Chain A
Amino acid sequence: MPRRISEPIIEWCIKLSGFAVVIFVFLIFLFLLRDSLSLFREYPIRDVLLGREWLPISEPPKFGVLPLLVGSVLVTFWAIVICVPLGVGAAMFIAEVAPKPLKHVLKSLIEILASIPSVVLGFLGIIWLGPFLRNTFGLSTGMTGLTGSLLLAFMALPTIISISEDALAGVPKAYREAAFGLGATRWQTLWRVILPSASSGIVAAIMLGIGRVVGETMVVLMVTGNAPVMPKSILQPLRTLTATIAGEMGETVGGSEHYFALFAVGLVLFAITFTINLIADVFLRRARK
């Protein structure tokens, strides 16, 4: 084919591929919205978002998302409380304290952790962590929000560590030298100069960690006990937004109210992660400057 014809075709393909991502995000949003609207026609959006009961197969069914939302928030909150000190601490250790060979070993280990499929951690939660927590805390069941939080904290670590570490390592050398020149110790420099300068990047790391935890499905489906009731404590079984979709989709009839309700749950999830990612992106941009 002569170049005059083939080149425009190729360049057109390239342009189209570039736009494909935009189309996908738009389509995902559109499908979620379309099926959610089918639900909102019968059940007002207010009742769905603020309803305190999720009883999709009772007569009449109730599609209150609040217990699931609270479940997600509770599990995420504790996961983040557990993993942020660990993750940021480890990032500080890797970036500023560890000698080079140790640094490489630690980074490889974190990469291995990042590669473990969530379903494998869920499996370990069922046979190992759950029973362990039940015996330690004297609970009636090991399948609780806490089991999920611990595993999710573990899963969010690679995200938080690698992005925080990048942020710490990206602080200009001159800052460090200036601090040393003024007689500061390495710790004082790290704590009072490097950490504050890297704060935007670390906030972004935490936001992305939260996004990861909120969206994680298999672990919470397998270990949090699947109880779609308003949770009162992290030490009891609960159910998250993600686990509800994964657990109930297979049992619904296409086009039923229950089916549309799961898309409404998906829409809530999409809105949450979309917002979190936008915030993370703002902080990442600020960090790069």
Chain B
Amino acid sequence: MNGAKIRQHIAFSVLGLLTLGIVVPILLVIIYIVVNGAGAITWEFLTAAPREGMRAGGIFPAIVGTILLVVGTMLFALPLGVLSAVYLVEYAHDNLFTRMIKLSVVNLSGIPSIVYGLFGFTMFVMLLHFGTSILAGSLTLGIMSLPVIITASKEALESVPNTYREISLSLGATRWQTVRYCVLPYAIPGILTGTVLSLSRAAGETAPILFTVAAFYLPRLPRGAFDQVMALPYHLYVISTQVPNIPLELSFATALTLVGLVFLMNLVSIFLRAHYRKKRLW
């Protein structure tokens, strides 16, 4: 072996070690949560309300709360995000207005989650008088999810070949008909993949819901969109920092439930992506 080969061998080994330095902690974290949490996950834990100041019982209200928030986020952010991507890809000209929108998407994606929390509080809780409610929380999480949904939808729309549009337009269809019947149907799987991914992020977020929706301890289900709810990530924060003497296995089980829920949503997203690649026509 000559010098260059030996150097290559050493360099690649170092890169491999660096990668290993990332892989090992990831695996450790997952194994640690699963091993410590799996034992405490029982049917009762998943379907009962917390009791004795959260030191016993289950986390059912928090699971329901998180699911409601995800649904609320989707109802708000999906149509808005898709339509704004449609605008950017199908309608917009390359002018100042369009550049402003693109720049805003970039900046929205970089705003810290806690700043969304502040904004949601002043805008929805105070100014619009929604109170700390599912509605206020969903809208806050929705705005936060917009950049990912827009970016994913944009890519999905851009990947539809231009010939589809040209054929439709040449047959006398209007621009909206073209978008509605010849572009959107083919972009939907890509849009869904990005949406589910962004919703899984929203499900795990704590900072934006701190002052907009999350209830410290509310062992019942919400009655409407203007009710507070417990949510899994906030519940985990509360029981690991705010309440003393919580049995550790309850914290682990809550963490595992949250990770499991997020992971499940990611699997859905991966499945959609694979399915989409297989059925792709171009």
Q: A97, B12: Cβ atoms under 8 Å?
A: yes
15 contacts between A and B (CB under 8 A): A14-B87, A17-B86, A18-B84, A21-B147, A24-B108, A24-B143, A94-B19, A124-B33, A215-B110, A217-B113, A217-B207, A218-B207, A222-B237, A246-B117, A250-B210
Q: Which residues of A contact B92 (CB under 8 A)?
A: 18
Q: B206, A245: Cβ atoms under 8 Å?
A: no
Q: Is B218 an interface residue (CB 8 A)?
A: no
Q: Is A266 an interface residue (CB 8 A)?
A: yes
Q: Is B138 an interface residue (CB 8 A)?
A: no
A97–B8 Cα distance when bound, in Å, is: 11
Q: Is B106 an interface residue (CB 8 A)?
A: yes
Q: A97, B115: Cβ atoms under 8 Å?
A: no
Tell me the B43-100 residues at the A interface (CB within 8 Å): 79-80, 83-84, 86-88, 91-92, 97, 100
B134 to chain A, nearest CB (A): 19
Q: Which residues of A contact B105 (CB under 8 A)?
A: 21
Proximity bits, A135-160, B CB within 8 Å = 1, else 0: 00000000000000000001001000
Q: Which residues of B contact A89 (CB under 8 A)?
A: 14-15, 18-19
A120–B258 Cα distance when bound, in Å, is: 8
A231–B22 Cα distance when bound, in Å, is: 29
Tell me the B99-123 residues at the A interface (CB within 8 Å): 100-101, 103-119, 121-123
A127–B106 Cα distance when bound, in Å, is: 36
Q: Is B192 an interface residue (CB 8 A)?
A: no
A31–B236 Cα distance when bound, in Å, is: 30
Q: A18-B87, A116-B29 are in contact. List 19 more A-B contacts (CB 8 A).
A: A13-B83, A17-B83, A22-B104, A24-B108, A35-B122, A117-B205, A117-B206, A119-B234, A120-B255, A121-B29, A214-B112, A215-B111, A215-B112, A216-B113, A217-B114, A217-B206, A245-B114, A277-B109, A278-B107
User: Contact check: which of B11, B84, B204 meets A191 at CB < 8 Å?
Assistant: B11
Given A22-B104, A117-B206, A187-B7, are A277 and B110 also a contact pair (CB < 8 Å)? yes
The 7 closest A-B pairs by CB, nearest first: A215-B112, A117-B204, A18-B87, A89-B18, A277-B110, A17-B83, A187-B8
Contact stretch, chosen from A49-57, A61-69, A169-177, A267-275: A267-275
Q: Which residues of A contact B100 (CB under 8 A)?
A: 22
A27–B128 Cα distance when bound, in Å, is: 14
Tell me the B197-236 residues at the A interface (CB within 8 Å): 200-201, 203-207, 210-211, 233-234, 236
Q: Is A198 an interface residue (CB 8 A)?
A: no
Q: Is B35 an interface residue (CB 8 A)?
A: no
Q: Which residues of B contact A197 (CB under 8 A)?
A: none
Q: A123, B251: Cβ atoms under 8 Å?
A: yes
Q: B240, A222: Cβ atoms under 8 Å?
A: yes
A246–B214 Cα distance when bound, in Å, is: 13
User: Contact check: which of B79, B111, B174, B210 meets A270 at CB < 8 Å?
Assistant: B111
User: Contact check: which of A19, A90, A123, A270 meets B240 at CB < 8 Å?
Assistant: A123
Q: Is A122 an interface residue (CB 8 A)?
A: yes
A254–B30 Cα distance when bound, in Å, is: 41
Given A116-B262, A120-B258, A215-B110, are A242 and B207 also a contact pair (CB < 8 Å)? yes
B242 to chain A, nearest CB (A): 10
Q: B118, A262: Cβ atoms under 8 Å?
A: yes
A27–B119 Cα distance when bound, in Å, is: 8
Interface residues on A, range: 35 or more
User: Contact check: which of A86, A188, A246 meets B114 at CB < 8 Å?
Assistant: A246
Q: Which residues of B contact A281 (CB under 8 A)?
A: 103, 106
Q: Which residues of A contact B84 (CB under 8 A)?
A: 14, 17-18, 20-21
B86 to chain A, nearest CB (A): 5
Given A24-B108, A185-B4, are A128 and B32 also a contact pair (CB < 8 Å)? yes
Q: Which residues of A contact B201 (CB under 8 A)?
A: 115
Tell me the B152-172 residues at the A interface (CB within 8 Å): none
A31: nearest residue on chain B (CB-CB)?
A: B122
Tell me the A71-114 residues at the B interface (CB within 8 Å): 85-87, 89-90, 92-94, 97-98, 106, 109-113
Q: Which residues of B contact A187 (CB under 8 A)?
A: 4, 7-8, 11-12
Q: Which residues of A contact B108 (CB under 8 A)?
A: 21, 24-25
Tell me the B247-282 residues at the A interface (CB within 8 Å): 248, 251, 255, 258-259, 262-263, 266
Q: Which residues of A contact B113 (CB under 8 A)?
A: 215-217
Q: Is B244 an interface residue (CB 8 A)?
A: no
Q: B101, A22: Cβ atoms under 8 Å?
A: yes
Q: Which residues of B contact A20 (CB under 8 A)?
A: 80, 84, 146
Q: Which residues of A contact B5 (CB under 8 A)?
A: 185
